[in-house]
Amino acid sequence: MRRNKKERQGSLLETINENPFITDEDLAEKFTVSVQTIRLDRLELSIPELRERIKHVAEKKLENEVKALPIDEVIGEIIDIDLDKSAISILEVTREHVFKRNQIARGHHLFAQANSLAVAVINDELALTAKANIRFTRQVKENERVVAKARVKSLEQAKGRTLVEVDSFVGNELVFSGEFEMFRSNKKE
């Protein structure tokens, strides 16, 4: 069922507020309109394109500073972080990340994104991966966007260990999951 322009734009605004990382193509499919219609709607509503939305969210959310490694050493782009609680990063899979013969992403890139996010979420100067239990659930292809979400499951500062769970998605489909046992120093903040 097609909606009128006003209803569509209201729903579009709601959808982007819920998921600022949704693409124009996904929005066009959701609202059964052309990508150009979505772009015109965004323009009328003063909603920036995806890259600008991602930058805005990152600037707003990165008030806490990553301590365990320099931000430029994180694989993917951190767009949200709450130290010792949760973090989100995005990795755009490009030609450099895939095998030439089949355009499937090399697994070490997905692992690196998840592992570096697990390190980054630790609120400590020192964070190292002590153990990882990982599972790849689907192949990732060139030009797909991988959104990794880290969540601190347990924090045992006295033992110097933190358990971090990372799930990576393409759209709503789980492509990688991992549980990382992180070593951290015993320094009190």
pLDDT at position 62 is 57
- Ranges of CATH 1.10.10.10 domains, the chain: 5-47
Could you tell me the CA-to-CA distances from 138 to 76, 121, 134, 141, 167 in Å, in that order? 19, 25, 13, 10, 12
5-47 in CATH: which number?
1.10.10.10
Please tell me whether residue 17 adopts helix, strand or coil conformation: helix
Residue 100 CA to residue 98 CA, distance in Å, equals 6
- Ranges of CATH 3.10.129.10 domains, the chain: 57-184
pLDDT at position 59 is 58
Query: pLDDT tens, 2-30?
Result: 678 889 999 999 998 888 888 899 999 99
Classify domain 57-184 at the CATH superfamily level: Hotdog Thioesterase (3.10.129.10)
Q: Provide the token pair at 28.
A: 């066009």
pLDDT at position 52 is 78
* Contact (Cβ atoms closer than 8 angstroms) between residue 75 and residue 116: yes
**pLDDT tens, N- to C-terminus, the chain (189 residues):** 567 888 999 999 999 888 888 889 999 999 999 999 999 999 999 888 887 777 666 655 554 466 767 666 788 988 888 889 999 999 999 999 999 999 999 999 999 999 999 999 998 888 899 999 999 999 999 999 999 999 999 877 667 889 999 999 999 999 999 999 999 886 554
pLDDT at position 94 is 95
Burial of 134 (0-12, 13-18, 19+ CB in 10 A): middle
Q: Provide the token pair at 1.
A: 């069922």
pLDDT at position 11 is 92
